[in-house]
Structure 1
Amino acid sequence: MTKTVFALGLGLALAASSALAAEPQQVTVSLTSASPMSQGMAMVLANQMQEQGAQVDILLCDTAGDMALKNATGEALKPNNVTPVQLLDAAIKKGATASVCALYLPNNGKTADDLRAGITPAKPADMAARLLEPQRKVIGF
């Protein structure tokens, strides 16, 4: 009987750890910097985390919110001659979610219609809930 209970407990523990291992790492990249190199590095790392299996959420605030606008271009950075905006678009195409903080649009005279495809205004309650998830990593730039 004791062996059966132990085997059952061990089996459940292994099943639970397998289920947890199957879940992708959840990551939020919060970007506020106006610096092209900081923006670029944040987007390079977001793309790399996706390639390594993470589910990435990108939150653009303050001057980094400008990356979310339809007319955003930016400075091409070496060594690959891509802009942070191009890297943002690549992350979105690979499944990242992207949003601008709730304060960005109203404080810059913009609306959701001014945002690039795939980028939405963040909802504070939803974003707060995500940031509180115990297994989520939050990285700020």
Structure 2
Amino acid sequence: MRRLLTATAAMILLPACASVPSEGQSAPVAEDRPMLTVLTSGDAETQLMALVLTRAALAKGVTPRILLCSAAGDLALKDPPPDALAPLQPKGVSPAGLLRSLKADGVKVEVCAIYLPNRPFGAEALEDGVGVATPPDIASAFTAAGATVLSF
């Protein structure tokens, strides 16, 4: 079963949608629980919430992957905009900082295929380890069996 959740639905429905194993069953292993976070918003609070939920899913054994498009792609730059670096409450974490932390924890982070061709710079401006997604690869991610897609 695939789930597509918008930012609002993700915050409201994600816990209700999570499958809970019945007695005698074990929880699915991480590779059986893929999740794609698609982040397009340029709003720092929205960016941080998307990444906080992605971090929470990682802690629950989900295998997240992050696709950054439009203004959110700027989070993946070696020199992100000031808003992306500003710590937000309640934990004093910035969107760019949390993205770097997720990447360090093995979460695959990519910009969409349209991001770089529409900027005055190339892949050299991206942080090390950030890739450029291809549409067929992302289509495979969101159509995978059991995939959950969060969109912000």
Q: CA RMSD in A?
A: 1.5
Q: Which is worse superposed, 34-43 or 117-126?
A: 117-126
Higher relative contact order (CA 8 A, sep 6+): 2
Kindly indicate whether the alpha-carbon contact (under 8 Å) linking 2:48 and 2:94 is maintained by their aligned counterparts in 1: yes
Give me the whole-angstrom Cα distance separating, in 1, the residues matched to 2:135 and 2:78.
23
Which of 51, 62, 67 is equivalent to 1:59? Answer: 67
Larger Rg: 1
Give me the whole-angstrom Cα distance separating, in 2, the residues matched to 1:123 and 1:27.
17
Q: TM-score normalised to the size of structure 2?
A: 0.76
Task: Give structure 1 stretches of 5+ with no counterpart.
Answer: 1-16
Alignment of 1:1-141 (within 5 A): 21-24=28-31, 25-72=33-80, 73=82, 74=84, 75-141=86-152
Q: Which runs of 4+ in 1 moved over 2 A?
A: 20-24
Q: Secondary structure in 2 aligned to 1:79?
A: coil
Kindly indicate whether the alpha-carbon contact (under 8 Å) linking 2:30 and 2:61 is maintained by their aligned counterparts in 1: no
Q: TM-score normalised to the size of structure 1?
A: 0.82
Residues 20-39 of structure 1: CA distance to partner in whole angstroms, max 9, x if unpaired?
A: 82344110000000110000
In the alignment of these two chains, the number of paired residues is 124
